[in-house]
Amino acid sequence: MNGCAVKEVRLGDVDDAGAVFAPTPDAGPDAPENEVLMCVGTICPEPYATCLTPGKPAYTCGADLSRDPDNCGACGNVCGTFLPLHMVSQCIEGACAYQCHNPNPQFPTDWRDCNAVIDDGCEVNVLVDTKNCGSCGNACAAGESCNAGKCGCPAGQIECPWFLGRTRCVDPMTDDFNCGGCGSACPSDGACGQNPPNMRHGCVGGTCGHLKCEPRTVDCNGDVGPLGCASDGCEVGAVADRDNCGGCGVKCKDGEECLDPKGTGLTCVAPCEATGFTFCPVGKCFDLSSDVLACGHCSNECPTGGPNQVRACHKGVCALDCAPGFADCNQDQSDGCETNLAVNPNHCGACGSECDLALGQPCVEGKCLMTPCGSPGAK
């Protein structure tokens, strides 16, 4: 058996040649006689292969052909991106699977492959397409446009030109750029000369020139109507107010503070300290012991690291952790976590765990390859 001698052993025993004994797959707990001698393996098991990928180190059996996007199903078969066609792909079970791509959340799109033809990719943006509004095949009525995946506009709103030939739904009673009708923009100044705090002149009731509150501010004392330019403006909302927290008359209870802990608006919440967190000047609560945006103190944001490193905060101290499956085996921070423990035979599964390089033993999924003695590639 290629130099391996069978002898009476227990599970996990190692012989003088370095072979490991293990039970056969069908051996039960009461069948110790069905033990098989395991030797060093040198032939890649399916679906692994040795592939040469430009710009990447070549490890024996280092490519998983079932999920490697650079070697999908075969060495060199790259699952590419096709951005002009609004498509990307990934390797699933050895085949490139294509999916629609919507890259910029600031300018939402929802590209779909409505004609089921791969050659033209994801050809329809269902957020604006009148023949496929919201979903493939959902056509809007004649004269209706498609806005945010819905045909036409809600009651009280009208369609007005926006950009790139698109339209959007606006309320002509309040929209400063389409006041009373599309394209009728209100001037930014007005009769006051200097506007009251947190106020501007704009569209109210479909006409321009009216004082109105800036977003997320409120005139809780109601003095804008009678006093106009002499009022104290929209006095609530720009700063935290325990008596008007997020709205007029919303009073915080004893032991609560008016904060914006999630960046979604002011609300009455328990003080940060009551939950073990710290209130920082940005207006949010942070766990200074573990938050990478405020590690140890409010103004300390942890820096990003090198390849395969993940920034972390441990007990108030910034650190650079290795991504799962990687390690900094050379103890050199400049090249990050350079070692892939899943395929590197010099550090297989852990730094310093070396496979039998002389025999050509590869590292597969973080373990030095073993195979039954006598099988192809066994040494």
Residue 153 above 50 pLDDT? yes
Look at residue 289 and tell me if it is in a domain: no
Q: What is the pLDDT of residue 59?
A: 92
Average the pLDDT over 159-174 and give the result.
Answer: 85
Look at residue 137 and tell me if it is in a domain: no
Enter the pTM of the model: 0.60
The percent of residues in the chain predicted with pLDDT above 70, rounded, is 89
Look at residue 167 and tell me if it is in a domain: no
Q: Which residue has the higher pLDDT, 366 or 191?
A: 366
The percent of residues in the chain predicted with pLDDT above 90, rounded, is 56
β-strand 367-368 against 309-314: which pairing, if any? unpaired
Alpha helices in the chain (DSSP H): 224-227
Report the distance separating Cα 311 and Cα 158, nearest Å.
48
Complete DSSP assignment for 162-177: -STT-EEEE-TTT-TT
Q: What is the pLDDT of residue 1?
A: 37
Average the pLDDT over 341-353 and give the result.
Answer: 96
Q: What is the pLDDT of residue 33?
A: 56
Average the pLDDT over 259-280 and give the result.
Answer: 77
Q: Which residue has the higher pLDDT, 166 or 38?
A: 38
Look at residues 38, 43, 13, 14 and name the one whose alpha carbon lies nearest to residue 25. Answer: 38
3-state secondary structure of 83: helix
Q: What is the pLDDT of residue 13?
A: 45
Look at residue 203 and tell me if it is in a domain: yes
Query: What angle is formed at CA 176 by the lines to CA 162 and CA 283, rounded to 5 degrees?
Result: 95
Look at residue 226 and tell me if it is in a domain: yes
Q: What is the pLDDT of residue 19?
A: 46
From first CA to last CA, the distance across the chain in angstroms is 9
Residue 257 above 60 pLDDT? yes
Strand intervals (E) in 171-324 = 199-204, 207-213, 257-259, 267-269, 278-280, 284-286, 309-314, 317-322
Element (DSSP H or E) covering residue 225 = helix 224-227
Q: Report the chain's C-alpha Rg in angstroms.
A: 33
pLDDT band at 263 (very low <50, low <70, confident <90, very high): low
- Considering only the C-alpha atoms of the chain, give the largest distance between any 2 of them, rounded to a whole number of Å: 102
Per-residue pLDDT tens digits for 272-326: 776 788 888 887 789 999 999 999 999 999 999 899 999 999 999 999 999 999 9
170 contact partners, CB below 8 Å, separation of at least 6: 157, 158, 159, 160, 177, 178, 182
Q: What is the pLDDT of residue 262?
A: 67
- The Cβ of residue 133 has, within 10 Å, a number of other Cβ atoms equal to 24
Residue 3 above 50 pLDDT? no
| Contact present, 124 and 116 (Cβ < 8 Å) | no
Q: How far is CA 153 from the centre of its chain?
A: 32
Q: What is the pLDDT of residue 11?
A: 37
**Domain assignment of residue 193, given as a range:** 177-238
Per-residue pLDDT tens digits for 64-80: 999 999 999 999 999 98
Q: How far is CA 274 from the centre of its chain?
A: 31
| Length, in residues, of the chain | 379
Look at residue 224 and tell me if it is in a domain: yes
158 contact partners, CB below 8 Å, separation of at least 6: 169, 170, 172, 178, 181, 182
Per-residue pLDDT tens digits for 208-251: 999 999 887 888 888 998 899 999 999 887 666 788 887 888 88
Q: How far is CA 315 from the centre of its chain?
A: 25
**Number of domains observed in the structure of the chain:** 1
pLDDT band at 122 (very low <50, low <70, confident <90, very high): very high
Residue 370 above 90 pLDDT? yes
Per-residue pLDDT tens digits for 6-52: 333 333 444 444 444 445 445 444 545 567 899 999 999 999 999 98
Look at residue 188 and tell me if it is in a domain: yes
